[in-house]
Amino acid sequence: MTVGDQVIPGALDGLKVLDFSRVLAGPFATMMLGDLGAEVIKVERPDGGDETRAWGPPFDARGRATYFLSVNRNKRSFVLDLTDDGDLERARELALSADVLVENFRPGLMAGLKLAYEDLEEGNPGLIYCSITGFGPGQGARLPGYDLLVQALGGLMSITGEAERDPQKVGVALVDILTGLFATSGILAALRYRERSGQGQKVEVSLLASLLGALVNQASAYTAGGVVPHRMGNAHPSISPYELYQAARGQLVIAVGNDRQFRALCEAIERPELADDSRFATNTDRVANRIELREELDRALREQPADHWSEVLTAARVPAGPVNDVGAAFRLARELGLDPVVEIPTGDGPATPLTRNPITLSRTPASYRSSPPALGDSGPGGVAW
């Protein structure tokens, strides 16, 4: 990153990442590494490259699929046909000089190409090899790893949506993103171990295991409490009031996490007696009597519009606010000084506006050196490390 005339090194400057992954989980992980300074070479097939290059609409002003743009900045694109002996040998050469290799092919494919970790370990003992699968390398290897399928099979859809309606997927491919974050954490942990030992290792993450790990309290309800969670709409299984309410005009989320906040809520809506009602005195009481509590709050909240309640409750230190669309969410972040969008320059056109990396580092900040590459755009100097 350059600030004025000063070049600030990234936390991962000098790290060489060979990215065989496509679509979302792997590319998200390698973009995170790239943002933090790593040099990422994205290996793509000659017949169109990463599938997400064609996943549109929407497209940006230059006709590029915004899906692809979202997870492929700070990379160079190198086209290799892995069915060609010469290209396969070039891939092996890159792998033997890489610090990190990330792949999300179906289990067994890299072994068939002699590009598995076991094939590379002897020639590159410091290699961190990250393999991302849908359901692991064992009996789940035959199952296709698509986010929607994992949301269904992994239980997430069963707890998302209204109780009386069909299960719902989350509005973004959340399992892929979670898996990408777990992959990034695993890679960084392996790099730290390599600093101490000089030894690389294999990192394995799967979409299903990542989802189960991210179910947190809903998972422990089952594993430790013997309770199978179910759909509750916007309500919370363990906290109340913690859901969406209808105001006189507009809707409002209230997220009360403790008794102090509940009392402040009751006073702000001019119903202080609710805080002393034995049915609602503690969170456990409120959860047990959530239907009655909702009826009381509904009556009070329908007297004023959502904007009024948002202002009043925020002033009373009660977590509350309207349901923003994505545009309003970005505007809010700007108003709060978070600067959520970064303009990434391109060599042959207008800058590409993308979401800023959410990690702020005081000494080695994230950098945005290059826009997502065109297919085969390996940048100055080709693909030499």
> Among the options 176, 259, 276, 339, which is catalytic?
176
Q: Residue 234: pLDDT band by 50, 70, 90 thresholds?
A: very high
Mean pLDDT across the stretch 135-160? 94
Mean pLDDT across the stretch 142-160? 95
- Coil, strand or helix at 247: coil
The answer, yes or no, to whether residue 4 has pLDDT greater than 50, is no
> Contact at 8 Å (CB) between 44 and 78?
yes
> Is residue 176 flagged as an active site residue?
yes
User: What are the structural domain ranges in the chain?
Assistant: 2-215+339-355, 242-329
CA distance 70 to 354: 7
Percent of the chain at pLDDT > 90 equals: 92
The answer, yes or no, to whether residue 7 has pLDDT greater than 90, is no
The answer, yes or no, to whether residue 369 has pLDDT greater than 60, is yes
* 242-329: CATH architecture: 2-Layer Sandwich (3.30)
Cis before residue 380, ω within 30 degrees of 0?
Answer: no
The answer, yes or no, to whether residue 290 has pLDDT greater than 50, is yes
DSSP code of residue 372: P
Mean pLDDT across the stretch 263-286? 96
The answer, yes or no, to whether residue 346 has pLDDT greater than 90, is no
CA distance 182 to 210: 7
Tell me the two tokens of residue 267.
């006073």
Mean pLDDT across the stretch 78-97? 97
Mean pLDDT computed over every residue of the chain:
95
Tell me yes or no: is domain 2-215+339-355 CATH 1.10.150.530.
no
Tell me the two tokens of residue 6.
């000063």
For residue 347, the model assigns a pLDDT of 75
